[in-house]
Amino acid sequence: MLAYLIKRLGLALAVICTVVLVLFSLLYLIPGDPATIALGPRATPEAIARYAERMHLDEPIWRQFLIYIGNAFTGDLGVDIFSERPVTAIILDRLGFTLALVCAAMGWAMLIGIPLGCLSAVMPNTAVDRITGVLSVSTIAIPSFLVSIWALLIFAVELRWLPAIGAGEPGETLDQLSHLVLPAFAVGLSWVGYLARMVRASMLEVMGETYIRSARAFGLRPRKVVFGYALRVAILPTITLIGMGFGGLISSTVFAEIIFARPGIGKLIFDSVMARNFPVVQGGVIVATTLYILVVLISDILIAWFDPRVRESL
């Protein structure tokens, strides 16, 4: 297990470094002076000079990269061009909104999707199963940003049940929760479909195993067999699915934040792209990617913990 852990951690670090390298080299792949490109046409000569000094632009490129990555690991991601605030502080301000949205979306999707998958698996080929099947395919196929726009249109603009934009007044929990409902609904909807499908497929497989038959033969109640025995094993592939789908989850979070004007990381990156505030874009993308890699890492380690065969394969 330890050997696997070390290999897996090394791999995660390598991927993060690659992402930083790609982001860093993007600046140099475009012809022209890096400082001018990064700061955009509106930057003053003083700002360009300051940026050139901060990024050590007079040094060779490989040294600039080492300096940047060294700073990034100590938590220094540079400063905002306009406000001169440290990028790290700006991101930390916003990170909570994104994490809350991701957790809320995933939470309600699991709460609905997993039982729905169990239900379909327990009664395969019935009307309930067929309807669940069509609904999960449909929720997976419908683009999540469209769900966001239509949810905004129906529940905020037409019905006025829920607030449309922002994240609520700081400190007022109820207000913040009411601002969380629509984005979480939109981001989580396709996951209800994914989870229901995945759980159904792996449950059907597990329900055919002999130990389930034995449990039944011992006269355990069906509820106990399904939730106590089958689901415990069948849930494993779902953990992998969550890890692998987390990139998509971040993408739909970015859309939801922009559409509902929620001040998270996605909105921050988007606004900075529009304002050509490249240090903030760079920092935001690095943080979002690191978040993604961490989730994949955790899901991989969990799987290896549960299933010893996986440890051998890396």
Partner 1 sequence: MNRFETQTGQPGIDASGLPEHLSEDEVRESAARERREKLRMFLTNWQGVTGLILVTLFFASAIFAPWIAPYDPNALDIPSRLVDPSLEHLAGTDQLGRDTFSRILYGGRVALKIAAIGVSVALVSGLILGMIAGFGPRWLDNLLLLVFDTVRAFPTIVLALATVALTGPSLELVLAIVIITSIPQYARVTRTATLSLKNTDFILAERSLGAGMPRMLWHHVMPNVIGPLMILAAMEVPVVVTVEAGLSFLGLGVLPPTASWGTILNEGYLVIRDTPWMVVAGGVPLILTTLGFTFLGEALRDIFDPRMGKGR
Examine residue 149 and tell whether it contacts partner 1 (CB under 8 A).
Answer: yes
Q: Which of residues 220-259 bind partner 1 (CB under 8 A)?
A: 243-248, 250-251, 254-255, 258-259
Q: Footprint of partner 1 on residues 50-89 (CB under 8 A)?
A: none
Q: Which positions ≥6 away from 231 have C-beta within 8 Å?
A: 114, 118, 199, 203
Distance CA 240, CA 253 (A): 20
| Residues forming a β-bridge with 86 | 79
- Give least dist CB 237 to partner 1, A: 8
Q: How far apart (Å, rounded) are the C-alpha atoms in residues 163 and 175? A: 9
**150 touches partner 1 (CB under 8 A):** yes
* CB nearer to partner 1: pick between 215 and 280: 280
Q: SS3 string of the chain?
A: CHHHHHHHHHHHHHHHHHHHHHHHHHHHHCCCCHHHHHHCCCCCHHHHHHHHHHCCCCCCHHHHHHHHHHHHHCCCCCECCCCCCEHHHHHHHHHHHHHHHHHHHHHHHHHHHHHHHHHHHHCCCCHHHHHHHHHHHHHHHCCHHHHHHHHHHHHHHHCCCCCCCCCCCCCCHHHHHHHHHHHHHHHHHHHHHHHHHHHHHHHHHHHCCHHHHHHHHCCCCHHHHHHHHHHHHHCHHHHHHHHHHHHHHHHHHHHHHHHCCCCCHHHHHHHHHHCCCHHHHHHHHHHHHHHHHHHHHHHHHHHHHHCHHHHHHC
Does residue 143 bind partner 1 (CB under 8 A)? yes
Confirm or reject binding of residue 211 to partner 1 (CB under 8 A).
Answer: no
CB of 217 to partner 1, least distance (A): 28
Residue (215 or 301) nearer to partner 1, CB:
301
Considering beta carbons, is residue 64 or 202 the nearer one to partner 1? 202
One-letter identity of residue 220: L
Using the rule CB under 8 A, which residue among 56, 112, 236, 270 binds partner 1? 270
**Pick from 17, 27, 220, 298: which binds partner 1 (CB under 8 A)?**
27
Selected from 180, 187, 198, 297, the binder of partner 1 by CB under 8 A is 198
Instruction: Please report whether residue 217 would count as binding partner 1 according to CB under 8 A.
Output: no
Q: Is there binding between residue 278 and partner 1 (CB under 8 A)?
A: yes
Out of 2, 3, 127, 141, the only residue in the binding site for partner 1 (CB under 8 A) is: 141
Residue 297: CA atoms inside 13 Å, Cβ hemisphere, count? 19
How far is it, in rounded angstroms, from Cα 280 to Cα 160? 35
Q: Which is nearer to partner 1, 216 or 270 (CB)?
A: 270
Q: Is 312 in the site for partner 1 (CB under 8 A)?
A: no
> 32 vs 45, which CB is nearer to partner 1?
32
CB under 8 A: which stretch of 77-85, 88-96, 169-177, 266-274 binds partner 1? 266-274
**Complex with partner 1: residue 168 or 248, whichever CB lies closer:** 248
Q: By rule CB under 8 A, what string of x and - marks binding of each residue 119-138 to partner 1? A: --------------xx--xx
Say whether residue 146 binds partner 1 (CB under 8 A): yes
- Residues binding partner 1 (CB under 8 A): 11, 15, 18, 23, 26-27, 30, 37, 133-134, 137-138, 140-143, 145-146, 149-150, 152-153, 157-158, 197-198, 200-202, 243-248, 250-251, 254-255, 258-259, 266, 269-270, 272-273, 276, 278, 281-282, 285, 288-289, 292, 296
